[in-house]
Structure 1
């Protein structure tokens, strides 16, 4: 009980820190919307605390199958923090922010080729006012791609090393509250189908979001990328959403393999007495 309470409280604090991170890095850019920030922090912290403290979560998947959610949170936190630091570099540059921006610019330049997601993103925000915003998007997108590659590589390695069974039995009801195994159809086929859908969406999202941004700019005018907070959360969605979907696809395929292996072992045990 105490361990679960402390763990849920620590995760709630980290969730609140994630929400408030842009304001901490860029305190002079909060503006008139700062009154809503404590409320958003409270909602995020409360949601995370309830999900991790209760016996059975309602939304969070793979709660008891680390490091799935830890890797996702680390990737999102890194994207938010790095984008905020890149934005701060154009306001009051420091040695750290300059080095991080240079690293992001190098990565962005390497990934800025025709029809790449980064090139499409730059085209989608090209009509936004200010060259500084485009430079920030270029650097932040490069860093987001680096974090995405590292996160997916680490998770793929963890899966190959036996995830999620390394920390004990895997409970489908707790770790997959949004998946109903009894809703009809073969569970293995449904898991594999849902995994393939998530994989395709994860690959397509980096290409679709820039097109959606372009449609928005044509309908309502250029995005307010001069506002660092808009840029930070836009880059967070663009960088984190594909990673989350691809990780979920890998996880679902792994769970399908586990269910199939368990069926095979159960069938072998049933046939063994008959053969004897």
Structure 2
């Protein structure tokens, strides 16, 4: 899967024509997504390695997770829901490991979202990198259908943000409801812990960042429209 993903990414970025990857020419959005996913996987791998082969680095990650766990596992929080979805027979060390993993991933996701929001406002993304090409950066978005472009982008942006906010709460609930099909005890296995918790944190963060990007593009288009209308009014007055 990793090789397939790498091949698809290579083909997309070295092709003259876009296919399905959004914001390919609007850095650093996709770079931040990749960095966040990479950081989550590495961090959780070090955390899962600590009980087996402890080192100074794994001890640091483990200690950080143990500090963040009680802070973020407050009532009805996503971290607490992740812990509550575990089977009742789960051992205390496994529960603490799951809580630490969820806390670390959630913090990394929140930092990534906050960083992208700052880049939008302070770095004037995406126009800070030059002109924004809708066809290249939004290849699956057809501006000629479905009504007003600004309205559609705003709607899609809000939907993505809402979905990203709700998913960390919804995923543990769905796991619990489908306990006969999906076994939450898989999180006690190190490999599954790393990938499932990373996905639980990364996918919602990616959706929120996508929503913020859509709202930003809608804002830029609306600004250009207002400027064009102002120029037209000025010409008519003259």
Give TM-score scaled by structure 1 length.
Answer: 0.82
Secondary structure of 1:54's aligned partner:
coil
Q: 1:106 aligns with which of 39, 53, 67?
A: 67
Kept in 2, the 8 Å contact 1:152–1:247? The answer is yes
Q: How many residues align?
A: 237
Query: How has the CA–CA distance of structure 1 residues 142 and 50 changed in structure 2, closer, same or farther, with 3 Å as cutoff?
Result: same
Mean CA deviation greater in 222-231 or 253-262 = 222-231
Task: Tell which has more relative contact order, 1 or 2 (C-alpha 8 A, sep 6+).
Answer: 2
Structure richer in helix, relative to its length: 1
Secondary structure of 2:178's aligned partner:
helix
Kept in 2, the 8 Å contact 1:205–1:242? The answer is yes
Query: How has the CA–CA distance of structure 1 residues 125 and 203 changed in structure 2, closer, same or farther, with 3 Å as cutoff?
Result: same
CA distance in 1, matches of 2:106, 2:229: 44
Kept in 2, the 8 Å contact 1:129–1:225? The answer is no
Query: How has the CA–CA distance of structure 1 residues 128 and 65 changed in structure 2, closer, same or farther, with 3 Å as cutoff?
Result: farther
Q: Which runs of 5 or more structure 1 residues have no equivalent in the other structure? A: 1-39
Kept in 2, the 8 Å contact 1:62–1:176? The answer is yes
The CA deviation string for residues 207-236 of structure 1, in whole angstroms up to 9 with x for no partner, is 000011112323454532332111111101
Give the superposed CA RMSD.
1.5
Query: How has the CA–CA distance of structure 1 residues 128 and 51 changed in structure 2, closer, same or farther, with 3 Å as cutoff?
Result: farther
| 1:90 matched residue in structure 2 | 51
The offset of 1:128, in angstroms, is 6.6
| 1:116 matched residue in structure 2 | 77
Give TM-score scaled by structure 2 length.
Answer: 0.94
Q: Which runs of 5 or more structure 2 residues have no equivalent in the other structure? A: none
Kept in 1, the 8 Å contact 2:85–2:176? The answer is yes
| 2:221 matched residue in structure 1 | 259
The offset of 1:166, in angstroms, is 0.6
CA distance in 2, matches of 1:43, 1:113: 39
Kept in 1, the 8 Å contact 2:156–2:214? The answer is yes
CA distance in 1, matches of 2:161, 2:36: 18
